[in-house]
Chains A and B, each alone.
Chain A
Amino acid sequence: AQRVTQPEKLLSVFKGAPVELKCNYSYSGSPELFWYVQYSRQRLQLLLRHISRESIKGFTADLNKGETSFHLKKPFAQEEDSAMYYCALSLMFSGGYNKLIFGAGTRLAVHP
């Protein structure tokens, strides 16, 4: 069965410290993985997707198929990074749509 695991409910760091939010997945097919973020009083929004291999707001995430992981990293955390982060596995269907399987989320708190 498809599953996304985020082992940490809360990650608390100081400004300027490195950040790694862990995500592991279980999926027999070729995975498409995303990180979504929800800032305080804002809607859930896409942060980055693995296929684009881009850096957004200083965050990067590398898909490691051997370890079935898609950890989110940032070398120097900023206070404005404080938010709820969700790792999501996208299941694509031939009907032209996709279904997201979410992890439980990790709350990142960056302290001054």
Chain B
Amino acid sequence: EAGVTQFPSHSVIEKGQTVTLRCDPISGHDNLYWYRRVMGKEIKFLLHFVKESKQDESGMPNNRFLAERTGGTYSTLKVQPAELEDSGVYFCASSEDERRGQSNTGELFFGEGSRLTVL
């Protein structure tokens, strides 16, 4: 079974440019999360989708960040315009929906991350 996949694995852009990160969750997982780890800091929650709906976007840093999950499948995270402090590793994770009686032990399945470097 394919795990969570993220693209690109590494992106280098200049300040002011736009970058779009993509995440494909595990098939059948309704919950999709974005997290971010900036240099030397902890991994922080950005937002959470249930299918195509944003359930919680309390961790989004500012309005330069836009996340979408059209059709409830893959998700994109766009940063526009990018700033130096946006550099870091962006992780996507997915999980099952506990309400549907699937076994949900609280485990999140992570992608390998997209490393963003803003120069």
Q: How far is the CA of A68 from the CA of B31 in the complex (A)?
A: 29
Give chain B interface residues in 31-80, CB to chain A under 8 Å.
Answer: 31, 33, 35, 40-45, 48, 50, 55-56
Per a CB cutoff under 8 Å, which of A34, A49, A86, A97 touches B98?
A97
CB pair A32–B45 under 8 Å, yes or no, is no
Given contacts A43-B113, A44-B110, A97-B50, contact A86 B43 (CB under 8 A): yes
Q: How far is the CA of A36 from the CA of B107 in the complex (A)?
A: 10
Interface flag for A99 (CB, 8 Å): yes
Query: A interface, by DSSP: helix, strand, loop or mixed?
Result: strand
Chain A-chain B contacts (Cβ-Cβ < 8 Å), number:
69
Distance in angstroms from A80 CB to nearest chain B CB is: 19
> Is the pair B42, A92 in contact by a Cβ cutoff of 8 Å?
no
List chain A residues, Cβ under 8 A from B44. Answer: 102
List B residues 63-119 near A (Cβ within 8 Å).
91, 95, 97-100, 104-108, 110-113
Cβ of B42 and Cβ of A105 under 8 Å apart?
Answer: yes
Nearest A residue (CB) for B31: A97
Q: In the complex, are the beta carbons of A99 and B48 less than 8 A apart? A: yes
> B interface vs A, CB < 8 Å?
3-4, 31, 33, 35, 40-45, 48, 50, 55-56, 91, 95, 97-100, 104-108, 110-113
Chain A residues close to B by CB (< 8 Å):
4, 32, 34, 36, 42-46, 49, 51-52, 86, 90, 92-93, 95-105
A selection of 12 A-B contacts at a CB cut-off of 8 Å is A32-B106, A43-B3, A43-B113, A96-B98, A96-B100, A97-B31, A97-B95, A97-B98, A98-B95, A98-B106, A100-B45, A104-B41
